[in-house]
């Protein structure tokens, strides 16, 4: 179900223009992220979709129909909504929090609870948490309950307002992965608000960058926005390291994978080794590096090795190859196939050369 903003403006009674002539289309079944500094009108834009805020100009269309033609409570029942800190009911159990919307929609108690239990599983929460109260969960777990509750409406549209901002970066990454996984199964139309550009490019099929004054600065794919910012505002907002971030979207064509000498764990290594030598297991999966000048007594064991270096899976974006090369103690990024077996190695120099010669 697509969403269209047509020349939408919101001026609050005090005179603040929170959103100024916003026009964009959110495609059916995609994630669109509204991103921008504090006060640029992201939340106001989101809330005009479910009529928590009414525009003062223009119109919002849901599936081609002006939202003003729908009664707000009916409209909202059909649109999932997730906010920061989850907004859970403190005196209801986790299960009943999630079952709320199905109950409101007239499902029987048992069916609503069964559905709620399924959804807790969908968002990766163990069943034993169902009977707890929200205060007995971690912040990340509460956010998952919030997402499960929003999914319970089984609506094609989901609005998410900074849902993951209150949790630490590691937990946030887990929640983002989970959202992407759930989305790959459910294919909802999701509008997501954040002030974090990393989150925006990670989650969005499209990213709408807004500036204070409620103006849309740029609307495009994450790759577009990172690689071709339309003006200085967008360029500075996406940050100086956008070149590096942008590499997440660049394929690795032209990067030649070089052969790499390896030694298998359990083998005898005679004399001190000359150069960094990659140790692999019987499946040819990398286990660590043998440092130059090191000598091995008897059979090569894990204890002889220096750990380190991320692995680059062949065929994925070039950023992974650069990460692998830069994080490797040997200066050689280890390239693996789908099964994690060593294919060869790349150097950072090679990757930079390829990038420099590209248009
Ligand atoms: N109910 C209101 N009455 C008056 N002004 C408001 C109201 N809600 C928001 N505003 C103003 O409208 C502008 C946009 O606010 P909005 O909350 O949409 O921005 P935002 O981009 O979501 O910001 P943040 O990231 O800080 O939440 C701000 O200047 C804000 O002060």
* 13 CA distance to ligand 1 middle (Å): 12
Tokens found for residue 87: 């907004």
Q: What are the structural domain ranges in the chain? A: 3-249, 262-357
User: Which residue owns the Cα nearest ligand 1 atom 10?
Assistant: 18
Helix, strand, or coil here: 355?
Answer: helix
Which residues sit with their C-beta closer than 6 Å to ligand 1? 12, 14, 16, 18, 36, 38-44, 195
Work out the pLDDT band at 255, boundaries 50, 70, 90: confident
Phi, psi of 267 (to 5 degrees): -75, 160
Average pLDDT of every residue of the chain: 88
Ligand 1 pocket test target in 8, 13, 39 with most atoms within 8 Å of CB: 39
Class of domain 262-357: alpha beta
If one counts every other C-beta atom within 10 angstroms of the C-beta of residue 359, the result is 2
Q: Identify the pLDDT of residue 243.
A: 65
Distance in Å, CA 83 to ligand 1 centroid: 15
Give the span between the Cα atoms of 131 and 140, in whole angstroms: 17
Atom of ligand 1 nearest to the CA of 210: 21
Q: How far is the CA of 213 from the centre of ligand 1 (A)?
A: 10
The alpha carbon of 40 and the centre of ligand 1 are apart by a number of angstroms equal to 7
Q: Which residue has the tokens 């090569």?
A: 300
The rounded percent of the chain whose pLDDT value lies above 90 is 42
What pLDDT was estimated at residue 209?
Answer: 95
357 pLDDT above the threshold of 80: no
Look at ligand 1, atom 18, and give the residue with the nearest C-alpha: 41
Residue 182, pLDDT score: 84
Query: Which pTM value belongs to this model?
Result: 0.71
Whose C-alpha lies nearest to ligand 1, atom 26?
38
> Predicted ipTM?
0.94
Query: How far is 315 from 187, CA to CA, in rounded Å?
Result: 25
How long a stretch of residues is the chain?
359
Q: Please state which of the ranges 72-86, 210-224, 231-245, 283-297 shows the lowest mean pLDDT.
A: 231-245
pLDDT band at residue 316 using 50, 70 and 90 as cut-offs = confident
Locate 253 and state its tokens. 């064509």
Give the model's pLDDT for residue 153: 74
In sequence order, which residues have a C-beta less than 8 Å from that of residue 338 and are 6 or more positions away?
313
* 175 pLDDT above the threshold of 70: yes
The angle subtended at Cα 158 by Cα 154 and Cα 160, nearest 5°, is: 140
Average pLDDT over residues 87-109: 86
107: pLDDT strictly greater than 90: no
CA–CA distances in Å: residue 203 to residues 54, 55, 174, 277: 27, 27, 12, 38
Residue pLDDT, tens place only, 112-148: 899 899 888 888 888 899 999 988 888 788 888 888 8
Reading phi first (left if > 0) and then psi (alpha if -120 to 50, else beta), residue 277 is in beta
Whether residue 262 is predicted with pLDDT greater than 80 in this model: the reply is yes
323-350 pLDDT per residue, tens? 888 888 888 999 999 999 999 999 988 8
Of 351 and 62, the structure prediction assigns the larger pLDDT to 62
Between 146 and 33, the more confident residue is: 33
Q: What is the pLDDT of residue 56?
A: 96
* CB 287, CB 279: distance < 8 Å: yes
Q: To 10 degrees, what angle do helices 348-357 and 318-327 make?
A: 150
Question: What's the 24 CA to ligand 1 centre distance in angstroms?
Answer: 20
pLDDT digits (tens, 9 = 90+) for 187-218: 999 999 998 888 998 999 999 999 988 999 99
Which backbone phi and psi does 234 adopt, to 5 degrees?
-65, -40
Question: Using CB atoms within 10 A of its CB, is residue 138 exposed (0-12), middle (13-18) or buried (19+)?
Answer: exposed
pLDDT score, position 280: 95
Q: Name which residue leads in pLDDT, 169 or 221.
A: 221
Closest residue by Cα to atom 13, ligand 1, is 18
pLDDT given at position 149: 86
pLDDT at position 284: 95
- Between 353 and 29, the more confident residue is 29
Ligand 1 mean position to 250 CA, how many Å?
36
Determine the pLDDT at residue 275.
87
Q: Quick one: pLDDT at residue 241?
A: 56
**Looking at ligand 1, which residue's alpha carbon is closest to its atom 31?**
39
Calculate mean pLDDT across residues 180-188: 88
Beta-bridged to residue 207, according to DSSP, are 33, 220
| Alpha-carbon dihedral 97, 101, 107, 113, rounded to 10 degrees | -20
Pick the CATH number of 3-249 from 3.40.50.2300, 3.40.50.300, 3.40.1170.10, 3.90.1300.10: 3.40.50.300
CA 211/CA 14 separation, integer angstroms: 20
> In percent, how much of the chain has pLDDT > 70?
96
pLDDT in the model for residue 206: 96
Band (pLDDT 50/70/90 cuts) for residue 265 is very high
């Amino acid at each position: 179900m697509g969403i269209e903003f047509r020349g939408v403006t919101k001026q609050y009674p005090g005179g603040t223009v929170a959103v100024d002539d916003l026009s964009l289309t959110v495609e059916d079944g995609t994630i669109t992220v509204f991103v921008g500094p504090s006060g640029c009108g992201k939340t106001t834009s989101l809330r005009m979709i479910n009529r928590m805020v009414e525009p003062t100009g223009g119109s919002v269309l849901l599936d081609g129909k002006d939202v003003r033609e729908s009664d707000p409570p009916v409209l909202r029942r059909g649109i999932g909504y997730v906010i920061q800190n989850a907004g859970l009911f403190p005196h209801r159990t986790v299960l009943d929090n999630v079952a709320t919307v199905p109950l409101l929609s007239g499902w029987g108690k048992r069916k609503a609870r069964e559905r709620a239990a399924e959804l807790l599983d969908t968002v990766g929460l163990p069943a034993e948490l169902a009977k707890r109260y929200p205060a007995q969960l971690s912040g990340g777990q509460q956010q998952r309950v919030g997402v499960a509750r929003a999914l319970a409406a089984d609506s094609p549209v989901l609005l998410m307002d900074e849902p993951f901002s209150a949790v630490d970066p590691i937990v946030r990454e887990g929640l983002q992965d989970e959202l992407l996984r759930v989305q790959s199964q459910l294919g909802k139309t999701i509008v997501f608000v954040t002030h974090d550009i990393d989150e925006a490019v990670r989650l969005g099929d499209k990213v709408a960058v807004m500036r204070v004054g409620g103006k849309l600065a740029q609307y495009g794919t994450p790759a577009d926005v990172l690689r071709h910012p339309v003006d200085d505002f967008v360029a500075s907002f996406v940050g100086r390291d956008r070149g590096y971030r942008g590499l997440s979207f660049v394929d690795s064509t032209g990067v030649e994978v070089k052969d790499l000498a390896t030694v298998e764990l359990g083998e005898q290594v005679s004399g001190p080794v000359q150069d960094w030598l990659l140790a692999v297991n019987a499946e040819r999966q990398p286990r660590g590096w043998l440092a130059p000048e090191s000598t091995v007594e008897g059979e090569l064991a894990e204890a002889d090795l220096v750990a380190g270096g991320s692995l680059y899976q062949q065929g994925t974006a070039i950023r992974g190859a650069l990460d692998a090369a830069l994080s490797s103690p040997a200066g050689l990024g280890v390239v693996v196939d789908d099964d994690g077996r060593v294919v060869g190695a790349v150097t950072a120099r090679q990757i930079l050369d390829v990038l420099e010669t590209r248009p």
